[in-house]
Amino acid sequence: MKINNITRKTGTKHTTLSADITFGAGIKENLYLRVANKYKHFVVSDANPFLAALLLPSMRKKEDLTIEGDVSPKLLTNTRSIMNLVEGWKVGFEKVSVKGKAKSGKTSPLNLNPSYSASFFTGGVDSFYTFLKHNKKKDAITHFIFIHGCDIPLENKEFFDDALKSVQIIAKEAGVEVIVVETNMRTILEQHLEWEWELGSALSSVALFLSNGLKKVYIPSGLRSDQLGPYGTHPELDPLFSTEKLEIIHDGCESSRIEKVANSIAKSPLALKYLRVCCQIIKGKYNCNECVKCEQTKMELLCAGALNKAKTLTHTIDVDLVRKAIYNTKLNYNLFPEDILKSLKKQNLEPALQEAVAFSIEKSKHLPLSRRGANLVAEIDKKYLDRRIYKFVFGFTEKEDRTFLYKFLSRTRLIS
């Protein structure tokens, strides 16, 4: 795998950093990151963002990585630690040779010493928690980073624009700026590596892209320390993408999701006013109020005594949908229903909901035939069909909405 022809170009509205990527099979792609010219002096001209983005895909594909461009000496050295860590997880990654030119790189004359702190922000529980946690500290977060091309596909512009408006409103009330980054990283890399394994690398790549202006970037964690397992964003992995001038921090592992909701979200009028947790990306819906994530958040807010204060979620919980939920009990991060059940019982809340959560937990230990069949299809699709079924089911219509099939499978909990 080769990274070359790294180009930094400033146009009339945007500044773009791009590179040609050549994969082992001879497939060539042009990967780019783009930001408004207001932040052009934040943009680097080195190869660091592309090294971060391509390292794990090269390990999965067992292709040596050659970088024709300047790379941070610290990051280049850290690639050994990254590969040792990820290979040690024994999930299909192997060490490769990484060749690049170690050099600190040129810094914009207007930003010789990066001075700002930023956090990736979507309006969800984890990103709100990290912002609220650091908001009143001396080294407070000054910028939100919001990406088009990662969680929200590039082709889904209408939904992105709606989501961006809400983030900009939150930022205005919070007194911070929003840096919008557009990238085709997921479009290219998901063909070679499942996105859950690329997530931390992709976020680090965006942070490195802006490292002429940012000295510190937080990646909000979704898991408490005792819930951790091998995953693409991890407190031992993400900081290894730091350089001499940029510190990348995986933040929030001291609290579980229900603890974040109880101790932070439920006490923040700002979060309760704008919380966006839904990952279904249903056209016209800020939160769909039906998916596993929405129902989970509503139950956590109920346990915190704040569901009736939430402005972006309905105040009723569909017990039937809760009963249908299925969790992968082999993953520690799917223990949240047990946390919810424990809190409901402790407070003697909603007996019918307690029964529904307990039923879903027990059912998840012995998967029904329909879910086992869906899991089998997913494995065959990943192994033999280049994930074509996945792309069809999780794709979007010409009107930038989810397909009827996706909505049906989500509501019946055959996918979650």
Domains and CATH numbers, the chain: 2-102 (no CATH), 116-251 (3.40.50.620), 277-411 (no CATH)
Q: What is the pLDDT of residue 112?
A: 58
Print burial letters for 353-382: b (CB count within 10 Å at least 16), e (below 16). beebbbebbebbeeeeeebeebeeeeeebe
Q: What is the pLDDT of residue 107?
A: 46
Contact between 132 and 96 under an 8 Å Cβ cutoff? The reply is: no
> What's the CA gap between 265 and 275, in Å, rounded?
9
Q: What is the DSSP letter of 295?
A: H
Ranges assigned E (strand) in 58-208: 65-71, 98-102, 116-120, 143-148, 177-183
Q: What is the pLDDT of residue 111?
A: 46
> What are the helix (H) ranges across 4-150?
48-61, 73-88, 125-134
Crossing angle for the helix pair 292-303 and 336-347, to the nearest 10 degrees = 30
> What's the CA gap between 253 and 247, in Å, rounded?
17
> What's the CA gap between 53 and 323, in Å, rounded?
39
Contact between 32 and 17 under an 8 Å Cβ cutoff? The reply is: yes
**Cα dihedral 58/62/68/72 (nearest 10):** 60
Q: What is the pLDDT of residue 109?
A: 43
> What's the CA gap between 212 and 18, in Å, rounded?
16
> What's the CA gap between 4 and 217, in Å, rounded?
26
User: Residues with Cβ < 8 Å from 375, sequence gap 6 or more?
Assistant: 367
Beta-strand pair 2-10/177-183: unpaired
Write the single-letter amino acid at 346. Answer: K
Structure tokens at 242: 């730091």
Contact between 209 and 33 under an 8 Å Cβ cutoff? The reply is: yes
Q: Maximum distance among all alpha carbons in the chain?
A: 63
Crossing angle for the helix pair 48-61 and 195-209, to the nearest 10 degrees = 160
> What's the CA gap between 354 and 360, in Å, rounded?
10
The DSSP H or E segment spanning 32 is strand 28-36
Q: What is the pLDDT of residue 389?
A: 83
Q: Which DSSP string corresponds to 322-368?
A: HHH----TTSGGG-HHHHHHHHHHHHT--HHHHHHHHHHHHHHHS--
> What's the CA gap between 79 and 416, in Å, rounded?
34
Tens digit of pLDDT at every position of the chain (416 positions):
999 999 999 999 999 999 999 998 789 999 999 999 999 999 999 999 999 999 999 999 999 999 999 999 999 999 999 999 999 999 999 999 999 988 865 544 444 578 899 999 999 999 999 999 998 777 799 999 999 999 888 988 888 998 999 999 999 999 999 999 999 999 999 989 999 999 999 999 999 999 999 999 999 999 899 888 899 999 999 999 999 999 999 999 999 999 999 999 999 999 999 999 987 777 778 899 998 999 999 999 999 999 999 999 999 999 999 999 888 766 554 578 999 999 999 999 999 999 999 999 998 888 778 777 877 887 888 777 777 887 777 777 766 677 777 777 777 777 76
> What's the CA gap between 163 and 407, in Å, rounded?
20
Q: What is the pLDDT of residue 384?
A: 79
Alpha-carbon torsion (124, 129, 135, 140), positive or negative: negative
How many Cα atoms occupy the beta-carbon half-sphere of 281 within 13 Å? 24
Q: What is the pLDDT of residue 108?
A: 43
Q: What is the DSSP letter of 396?
A: B
